[in-house]
Amino acid sequence: MAATEETAAAAATAAATATSTPPTLPRVPIPPRGVDYRGKIVLAPMVRSGELPSRLLALHYGADLVWGPETIDHSLIGATRRINPRTHMIEYTRQPSHSHSRSSAGDGVPESVIYRIDPAREKSKLVFQLGTSDAARAVAAARFVAADVAGIDVNAGCPKPFSVLGGMGAALLRTPDKLAGILEALVREVAPEFGVGISVKIRILDSAAETEALVRRLVATGITGLTVHCRTTLMRPRERALRGQLRMIADVCREAGVACVMNGDVESRDHAEGLVREYGVDGAMIATAAEKNPSCFRAETDGGLATWKEAVERYLRFTMEVENKISNTKFLLSQMIPGRVPQYKDMQRCKSYVELVQMLRHEGMEEMARETDRVLGLGEFGVKPEPKPSNKQKQQQDKQQQEKQGSNKRKREGSVEAEQSTKRVKVAGPTPVAAPASLAV
């Protein structure tokens, strides 16, 4: 009787334990050099806004991971990898396409930097987003960069023409088998060789059923992470994100052991952590808010949002450390400096780093700015354009050109007339003389 009671008690305990302990869910293994997206608040991939100085600023303020801007596979294949001897940054470069034209042949056109990486500060933090529509090209391009990054992410969500052209970006949402094939090739051929994870970024489809079918297809490819932008392809950034499908997507990813990151109208780290709890996702991605002020990655308990002046000063220092193009620097400054302050318009007129630091009154940065200008050929080190002629000078130049053209025309006409005269003389020749009769046959 006692044994029966003990057996019943043990069975009851086992049943209670089984009820209270949730079943262990599968989890796709994270490769040796890869990163787990779970519990991460990350910087979104943004064209122009995702260049190296912006990523460094986001990391400075607490971003757990950073995505670089989408880079097309064609631009990587055939590029050159080098270490900048001044900055020690990794740079992928190639000749600009126009440099192969006759007009630029022999002009010594410098190579363009298509991607730049900080191997120290971005180590184990950088995810490279790839634009592709072909599995073989995707593998070739990914192999070129995989040793320098912590993950390869396929862009299947960007709706802009430069991305969807040729079936890339959001166009891949209409060809799920092609997209899955690209991911499977990367998982099979790149992940084991370089020890990095493969992930994908998508948008929601028009119906929850369509989105679920797509997500189930993608998480079966062996990827470690999936980011979902909670907008459809046709929605614009000004339209509010739609989160109705988010919990379903998170559940499908969790069943497959794939990390799920959400994107769309995430304003700050504290906001992101609240959304993660509310929708059951694993992480969150910040885009527009980080473009305006990357200190949004800093929690309120750690100081919260920095002033635009503080963020701009730190950003400007990063741009000079890595020799960032001034056009890109000014673009980001136009996002970070409020349009209502005088510095916004003053910045637009600046043409060098020296002018920028002087305008913003960043004391102690002028020498660094001058050296950056020297390297990039800006300001006092730039090639001075020839002054434009006045209207009177232009009229005189036009008159001289017309006179020169008229003189050349007369010379050509005179040359033709002389040539024709010579031909006529040769045709006329001497008048033949008749032979004497005695010599006639």
Q: Tell me the pairing of strands 225-229 and 259-263.
A: parallel
Known catalytic residue: 296? no
Q: How far apart are CA 260 and CA 247, in angstroms?
A: 10
Q: How far is CA 125 from each of CA 121, 177, 201, 406, rounded to the nearest angstrom? A: 8, 30, 17, 68
Centroid of chain to Cα 411: 58
Q: How far is CA 433 from each of CA 331, 385, 424, 430, 436, rounded to the nearest angstrom? A: 92, 74, 21, 9, 9
Centroid of chain to Cα 35: 20
Residue 138's CB is within 10 A of a number of other CB atoms, namely 24
Strands (E), 17-157: 41-43, 65-67, 71-72, 80-83, 90-94, 112-117, 126-131, 151-156
Q: Are 283 and 42 in contact (CB under 8 A)?
A: yes
What is the C-alpha R_g of the chain? Answer: 34
Q: Which residues of 143-179 are buried (b: 16+ CB within 10 A; e: fewer)?
A: bbbbebbbbbbbbbbbbeeebbeeebbbbbbeebebb
Report helix, strand or coil for 224: coil
Report helix, strand or coil for 204: coil
Q: What is the DSSP letter of 132?
A: -
CB-based burial label for 438 (10 Å; 0-12, 13-18, 19+)? exposed
Q: Are 150 and 127 in contact (CB under 8 A)?
A: yes
**Half-sphere exposure of 39 toward its Cβ, with a 13 Å CA cutoff?**
2
User: Which residue matches tokens 């009851």?
Assistant: 12
Q: Tell me the pairing of strands 90-94 and 112-117.
A: antiparallel
Catalytic residue among 158, 230, 253, 350: 158
Residue 342 corresponds to which tokens in the numbers above? 């005088």
Report helix, strand or coil for 194: helix
Please name the residues in contact with 253: beta carbons below 8 A apart, sequence gap of 6 or more: 215, 219, 226, 259, 260, 282
Q: Which residues are catalytic?
A: 158
